[in-house]
């Protein structure tokens, strides 16, 4: 079996100096305003705030209880990574959690008063990257949580799929396919989140042309207990024996990339479908709100200021035909 692909330097690439768990942890004076230098020290747990960009949303209760028991006996062996936050009221400095959400939650569960931390000054983008890399390294994120984090990096920080892949140690192809899971209807996403469907099932459902059939097939897969291979075969039968040629991949066609840039959303799915006598551009959307936002960008241009939604008809996608006589 080939060795599992690593995550490059992972957290070591993002954190200048990560302390070893055996590093001596000092206890500062009550009003010690520590200069962030990576040296671990103890801080009141109530002075730590949650990371608003934490990609992980689901925590296994049994695993959390086990971690809490371990911390009760052995303490927190690896310091939490935190960043200082402005404290308008003065007094003791406060910190925002970057990495170590499970250790922080488990420590609170057992009533710990102080926990070891390592301080680093970061930007909001680094908060998300560090939290994402930590969870990916430990395989703690489900597919939808990872997709949501990738979308944040793409939309909030204008990162390409390739750049995201390099930051988290995944291929561009993996990033793109994971993001596509967000195009599934909410009920199917919930089935995936609940564990009734696997990521493999979800990827097979993406081949279906609309959300109605995706929901119907998802329900059948759960009801009949179909595995991934059986689901793929079912989808293939529903689509017919002769499948249309796949559209040009979004990420590899420069025109599709420029269209997404004009739309102001790098995660919007844009298909360039080539025919023998021209082709068409297909822009996909998830809901009416996104449809109106995309239409406004197309109608007003990329530099138009944001404003109230534009009232438009309700087609399921925009199609702009090129050199198509029909």
With tokens 């710990």, the residue in question is 112
> Which residue in 101, 129, 134, 145 is the catalytic one?
101
**Is 44 in a helix, a strand, or coil?**
strand
Using CA atoms, how far residue 58 sits from 34, 54, 140, 209, 250, in Å, is 33, 11, 9, 30, 31
CB-based contacts of 135: which residues, under 8 Å, 6+ apart? 55, 56, 141, 145, 146
Active site residue 101: yes
CA 69 to chain centre: 30
Cα-Cα-Cα-Cα torsion 45, 50, 103, 190, nearest 10 degrees, comes to 150
Give the list of residues 6+ apart from residue 271 with CB closer than 8 angstroms, or none: 247, 248, 250, 256, 281, 282, 284
Task: Give the DSSP H or E segment for 119.
Answer: strand 114-119
Rg of the chain on CA atoms, in Å? 24
Strands (E), 109-235: 114-119
At residue 141's C-alpha, the angle toward residues 140 and 146, to 5°, is 150
Could you give the count of Cα atoms lying within 13 Å of 81 in the half-sphere of its Cβ? 26
Using an 8 Å Cβ cutoff, are 127 and 47 in contact?
no
288: Cβ contacts below 8 Å, ≥ 6 apart: 314
The distance in angstroms from the start CA to the end CA of the chain is: 53
What are the residue numbers of the active site?
101
């Amino acid at each position: 079996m080939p060795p599992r692909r690593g995550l490059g330097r992972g957290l070591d690439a993002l954190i200048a100096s990560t302390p070893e768990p055996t590093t001596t942890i000092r206890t500062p004076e009550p009003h010690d305003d520590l200069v962030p230098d990576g040296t671990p020290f103890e801080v009141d747990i109530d002075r730590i705030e949650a990371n608003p960009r934490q990609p992980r949303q689901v925590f296994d209760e049994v695993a959390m209880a086990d971690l809490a028991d371990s911390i009760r006996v052995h303490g927190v062996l690896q310091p939490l990574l935190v960043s200082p936050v402005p404290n308008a009221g003065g007094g003791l400095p406060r910190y925002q959690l970057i990495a170590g959400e499970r250790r922080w939650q488990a420590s609170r569960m057992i009533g710990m008063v102080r926990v070891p931390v390592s301080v680093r000054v970061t930007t909001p983008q680094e908060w998300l990257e560090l939290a994402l890399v930590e969870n990916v390294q430990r395989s703690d994120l489900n597919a939808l949580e990872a997709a949501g984090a990738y979308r944040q990096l793409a939309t909030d920080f204008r990162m390409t799929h390739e750049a995201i892949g390099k930051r988290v140690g995944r291929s561009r192809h993996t990033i793109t396919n994971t993001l596509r899971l967000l195009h599934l209807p909410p009920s199917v996403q919930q089935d995936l989140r609940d564990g009734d469907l696997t990521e493999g099932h979800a990827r097979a459902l993406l081949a279906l042309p609309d959300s109605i059939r995706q929901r119907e097939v998802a329900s059948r897969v759960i009801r009949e207990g179909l595995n991934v291979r059986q689901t793929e075969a079912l989808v293939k039968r529903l689509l017919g024996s002769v499948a249309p040629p796949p559209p040009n991949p979004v990420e590899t066609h420069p025109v599709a990339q420029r269209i997404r840039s004009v739309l102001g959303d790098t995660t919007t799915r844009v298909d360039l479908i080539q025919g023998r006598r021209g082709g068409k551009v297909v822009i996909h959307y998830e809901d009416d709100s996104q449809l109106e936002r995309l239409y406004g960008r197309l109608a007003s241009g990329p530099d138009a200021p944001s404003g109230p939604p534009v009232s438009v008809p309700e087609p399921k996608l925009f199609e702009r035909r090129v050199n198509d006589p029909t």
